[in-house]
Amino acid sequence: MKIALIGFGASGIGFLMKMKNTEHEIHIFERAKDIFSTSVSGIRADGKIFVSKEMGGDLDIDMAIQEKVVQYYLKNTSCSDDEIEKGDSFANKTLFNEFYKCGFQPVSSKFWHIGTDELKTVLKNVFEEFSQAPNLHFHFNSEISDISLGDTFEINTNGETHQFDKVVIGVGRSGHRLVQTIIKKSPKLIMDNMQVDLGIRYELPNHIVEDLNREMYEFKLKLKTRTGYMARTFCNNPSGYVVTEEYEDFKTVNGHAKRFEKSHNTNFAILVTHQFTEPFNDPVSYGSYIAKLTNILAGKDRVILQTFGNFRDSKRTKKLYRVHPTLDQNDYILGDLNLAFPRKTTESILDFIETLDKVIPGVANPDNLMYGTEVKFYSNKLNNHFIPGLTFIGDCSGWTRSITYATAHGLMLADEILNQ
């Protein structure tokens, strides 16, 4: 069978783990110029992997498969087991109960932090392994804008036309345009109108959360806020750095933690879930619009930085105080995030921070920093049985939202093909 894999991210890696050195001829099309060249988070920018039944997606993925994924990535680092930062979120029941009493739902999971700077080593080793497989053929600088659907599939890229028996799409959150193009041809692919999570990247001094960081490294919390919207933490980075993510026509924020280089601050996202109903079916466009609005307010190519005190009081930040930003000063402007966010989003973020301050005093200090916008795209849940031979894997499918689950999704599809 001749198969096209569009995208070489976490889901694609999972797919190729099983499909390498088989009888199937597989062509991998990646729009980046090489394995390292993308600024969007995922396997190239997010150094955390985990095992959990409570987070990461809506697939029921066996813990043994999740463990297999984790071990695969760990074996491709240059680190010994002792050098990998680990955590076990809320294994401490006293801590669990403290957060629970204040209305939070703590999320249990085991974490391994590889380090954003170590990911290049992981990708290099994975790519070298796959490059040695005679049935795998990589095509970089190959963006796919459309696919002709029929008894066979036709793909055009760089002036060449390719025919395939099966197409696997694993373009992640950044491949929205291609996914939307296919949905317009076949609207019934959509099984469920999904969500988008909007919010901010929060930065505060390490000493405020050092006990929590030492206990579990990554803390995951959910809270039903006073607006009725759910809010959650995401991607905690002790001694980390705030960074920007560049999409095709807008810029957002994210956070990294490096293996060697450390800062004096901790950062994490606070994200508010926005659920949509018919007739609306494009949550990615909604999230993109809010992010673009933030960029416009910040002067096109920058994001907005605001102190928590000014955000709470709906005032533009004009001066910073005790907390020094880790984001490059050329990437932000001091401003007012209230001008970009819907009212319920703003109120949900405020409620989350003020409630968290009851458990961790100092979280709501007025000079702590907020960067916006941070967006997490989940797309629509897509029906992988609607068009025979066409399959969506990973985050672009709407079924996963993490490295572990996306990789496992690719593995599961490979098993399905090999067992046919």
In order, the DSSP letters of 263-325 are: -SEEEEEEEEEEE--TT---HHHHHHHHHHHHHHHHTSS-EEEEEHHHHHTT-------SPPP
Alpha carbon of residue 253 to chain centroid? 11
Tell whether the model's pLDDT for residue 134 goes beyond 90.
yes
Host domain of residue 200: 195-377
Q: Are residues 135 and 245 in the same domain?
A: no
Q: Are residues 147 and 291 in the same domain?
A: no
What pLDDT, on a 0 to 100 scale, did the predictor assign at position 48? 79
**pLDDT tens sequence across 284-294:** 889 999 999 99
Question: What is the spatial distance between Cα 212 and Cα 209, in angstroms, rounded to a whole number?
Answer: 5
Q: Are residues 13 and 150 in the same domain?
A: yes
**pLDDT tens sequence across 172-211:** 877 878 998 999 899 889 887 678 899 999 999 999 999 9
Is residue 270 in a domain?
Answer: yes
Residue 248 is encoded by which pair of tokens? Answer: 């095709």
Q: Are residues 327 and 218 in the same domain?
A: yes
**Which of these ranges, 22-26, 134-138, 392-396, has the smallest mean pLDDT?**
392-396
What pLDDT, on a 0 to 100 scale, did the predictor assign at position 45? 65
- Of 296 and 376, the structure prediction assigns the larger pLDDT to 296
- Closest by CA position to 41, among listed 230, 201, 204, 253: 253
**Which of these ranges, 3-12, 152-161, 222-231, 276-285, has the smallest mean pLDDT?**
276-285
Q: Are residues 287 and 256 in the same domain?
A: yes
**Which of these ranges, 26-30, 45-49, 109-113, 258-262, has the smallest mean pLDDT?**
45-49
Three-class DSSP category at 203? strand
Q: Are residues 280 and 152 in the same domain?
A: no
Contact, 201 vs 372, CB < 8 A? Answer: yes
* Tally of structural domains, the chain: 2
Q: Are residues 371 and 387 in the same domain?
A: no
**pLDDT tens sequence across 92-130:** 899 999 999 999 999 988 888 887 788 889 999 999 999
Tell whether the model's pLDDT for residue 22 goes beyond 60.
yes
Q: Are residues 128 and 215 in the same domain?
A: no
> Hey, which residues does 137 pair with through a beta bridge?
27
Q: Are residues 322 and 368 in the same domain?
A: yes
**Chain-wide mean pLDDT for the chain?**
91
